[in-house]
Chains A and B, each alone.
Chain A
Amino acid sequence: MQFGLSEEQILLRDNVNRFLDDNAPLDRVRAYADGGDDADIWAGLAELGVPALLVPEAQGGIGLAPLDAAIVAECLGAHVTPSPFLGTAIMAPTALVASGGQHDELLADIAAGTHRVGIAFGEAVKRRNDAHVEVRGERMFGKSLFAFDADADSYLVADQNRHLYLIAADDPGLKRVHLTTVDKSRRTVELTYDNVQATCISTDVAVFEATLDIGRVAIAADTLGAAQNMLDQAVEYAKQREQFNRPIGSFQAVKHMCAEMAAQLEPCRSMVWFAGHALAELPEEARITTCHTKAHLAEVAQFVAKTATEVHGGMGFTDLVGLHYWFKRCGANRQWLGAPEFVRHEAAVLQGLVSD
């Protein structure tokens, strides 16, 4: 029995972290937030094999497991890294492989880091207002909100029936408009479909669910990384910052805030590990574990994001320190692919506590 990361997984984590430390520090994130692109970051991650993680070896990938992907997601969250990771490296390969269809070329391009696949799942997860996706024949109509990312070459779109389609970003019927959010470390778009060519990937709801689940675990892992980083920054700051002739971290009012963050966050790490493991190895527990992990990480991260900012005092509120990048990353992750209340409802449905 061994519940923890293997040596290979620790090596993977260390490699990705080292690359991000060197190539995507906060100043690089700021450059992206100011309107730059993430091409060099993604190219560097591609050299490390990140987009190839979940692509089978037969299609030019590495063929690793969801837990490995979650480990990388945690690194990206810790560095608030701009990248198309969630759609391109996680959800698209999962959908394409699970569909059983012939997608060798696309998978090879994804693995090489030369093709970015965005995701538009919001309308299948929890449709807001007049957003909707309809497919008639092979033509797509309607509108998706907050699709991710802004620079994708194609989009994996889920309609209200939870069927999956692939559309090209340069389709003449597609209008793509940037939607500004508080989270400047990633960009989302509104997609308007007016008679867009839609290639059906799968009408099997199980394929949609597998894709959604791994996306949720990756988001939870990203949240874990972001929240842990905020806690680490808060602890470091509290050790350095002095008031009343002593480090503020020696005051119980401050150190207890840090202890509460640590106490709530530490079980989250085990939860993300288990959820990643369950996706591949424990199919009966995978879905419900995923729901709870997505929701619980959102709640704990909300507490950590607020508390870590408070530990920094006035500096936490400034752009100078930049803590808000992590605060907003946690906030965006909370809403993406299902807000906690809705995801918990799904957990209740899965247990038969309530009908859908």
Chain B
Amino acid sequence: MDLSFGPEYDAFREEVVSFLENNADKAPKSNDLRGQKAKDWQKLLIENGYTCRTIPKEFGGYGAEPDIIKSRIIAEEFSNARVNPGLGGQGISMLVPTLLEMGTQEQKEQFIRPTIMGDMLWCQGYSEPGAGSDLAALTTAAVLDGDEWVINGQKIWTSTAHIADWIFCLVRSEPDAPKHKGISFLLFDMKTPGIEVRPLVDMTGQANFNETFFTDVRVPKHQIVGERGQGWQVANAILGHERETLAPANTAQTRVNALIELMRSETADGARLIDNPVYRDRLMKIQSKVMAMRFNELRVLSARLNPGQDPGLSRMITKLEGTELRHDLEGLAIDIMGEIGLAYDDNPYLRGAGSWQRDYMYFLGLIIGGGTSQIQKNIISERGLGMPREPKFEKAS
């Protein structure tokens, strides 16, 4: 057991801290994916190696060797200082790693630099109305007509589709192949004729999601990542990683601290909520769970750093446990505030800028999205515990 990272990393942490002290004022406060300030900040972060760290220099990245500890230190210090960690979005988090792994040299040169600089915003076309948990059942059709794919069908949950420049999209290109082998991974411009985007308002009241419809959308043949029929492998090259990072424990820790402050300042019948033994016990229960998840993440990190170490099920359970925990945590804050916990939008009694209700709902969305809790339990029991799969249900013909 050795929890220290060593002097090299202590020095690196100091570098990050001093960068933040000197530059935090340049960081944008909001997550405006289109703003010039956000782009300037992104450029500065890349130049210093605090984002897009391992992306090769030839494609506009910082070009460092992968170093899990340094990445973690950067994430921790930006989070501690509550400074914007640079541009996010599915282009940077999902498409760029996919292209680095599976793209051609031309695709890397064409797409990576503008994507990480914030000049090219992407949306992800995976889920369909009939293909949610069973994603590989997707039916959006791509038929080759000369030098072009002709695409017809519908996607759903396409975050940022209404502002995206391009889409990376799973389509069925080989209708006669087995379902996992008939999918291709295409890239195309969202301004292509035949694309219609309709916003999908979610329970938080916001419209980050969309329904996206394709009618005879024509896409040049070469805008495919991997080979025809390889789309499932291309998409899965990085899907697992997304799940692990949805609800990190250090953010949960920050929220517990905020909840404690809330319970110290809010009162009921003149008594501070922190002095209510029932609420306090519920708080302590949540704190126990957050602590357990923090140590679980240390084990995940350690297993990455020490290839011989058995991670057990520590990685496989983080999405399920992390998202459920955050939902419970935010829900406790609402409970303790009583009617004030219901405040929303412009209500003058709003606490935490409305974050408790918003995250309570947002994390319910994450419990469902990115592989539902039920799918997670299938994965844990079948892959983790070696339990038998459900027998296949044969469709009556």
Chain A residue contacts of B239, Cβ below 8 A? none
Contact A271 B5, beta carbon cutoff 8 Å: no
Complex formed: what's the CA distance from A260 to B385 in Å? 11
Contact A299 B285, beta carbon cutoff 8 Å: yes
B382 within 8 A of A: yes
Contact B306 A263, beta carbon cutoff 8 Å: no
How far does the Cβ of A41 sit from chain B's closest Cβ, in whole Å? 28
Contact A292 B299, beta carbon cutoff 8 Å: no
The answer to whether A3 and B3 touch (CB under 8 A), given A271-B292, A296-B288, is yes
Contact B296 A341, beta carbon cutoff 8 Å: no
A267 within 8 A of B: yes
B116 within 8 A of A: no
Chain B residue contacts of A249, Cβ below 8 A? 381, 387-388
The answer to whether A296 and B1 touch (CB under 8 A), given A259-B380, A266-B296, A266-B314, is no
A255 within 8 A of B: yes
A347 within 8 A of B: yes
* A interface size (C-beta, 8 A): 46
Contact B317 A263, beta carbon cutoff 8 Å: yes
Complex formed: what's the CA distance from A281 to B274 in Å? 31
B389 within 8 A of A: yes
Chain A residue contacts of B385, Cβ below 8 A? 235, 255, 258-259, 262
Chain A residue contacts of B310, Cβ below 8 A? 4
Contact B292 A267, beta carbon cutoff 8 Å: yes
Chain A residue contacts of B374, Cβ below 8 A? 252, 256
Interface residues of A in 323-356 (CB under 8 A from B): 341, 344-345, 347-348, 353-354
**A-B CB contacts (within 8 Å), total count:** 164
Interface residues of B in 167-225 (CB under 8 A from A): none
Contact A292 B291, beta carbon cutoff 8 Å: yes
B35 within 8 A of A: no
A274 within 8 A of B: yes
Contact B391 A246, beta carbon cutoff 8 Å: yes
Chain B residue contacts of A296, Cβ below 8 A? 288-289, 291-292
B244 within 8 A of A: no
Contact A353 B280, beta carbon cutoff 8 Å: yes
Contact B281 A341, beta carbon cutoff 8 Å: yes
Complex formed: what's the CA distance from A277 to B5 in Å? 16
Q: Which residues of B contact A (CB under 8 A)?
A: 1-6, 69, 260, 274-275, 277, 280-281, 283-285, 287-289, 291-293, 295-296, 298-299, 301-303, 305-306, 309-310, 312-314, 317, 320-321, 374, 376-378, 380-382, 384-391
Q: Which residues of A contact B (CB under 8 A)?
A: 1-6, 67, 235, 238-239, 246-247, 249-252, 255-256, 258-260, 262-264, 266-271, 273-274, 277, 281, 289, 292, 295-296, 299, 341, 344-345, 347-348, 353-354
Q: Kindly list the 4 A-B residue pairs having the minimum CB-CB distance in the complex, ordered from nearest.
A: A270-B295, A259-B377, A3-B302, A255-B381
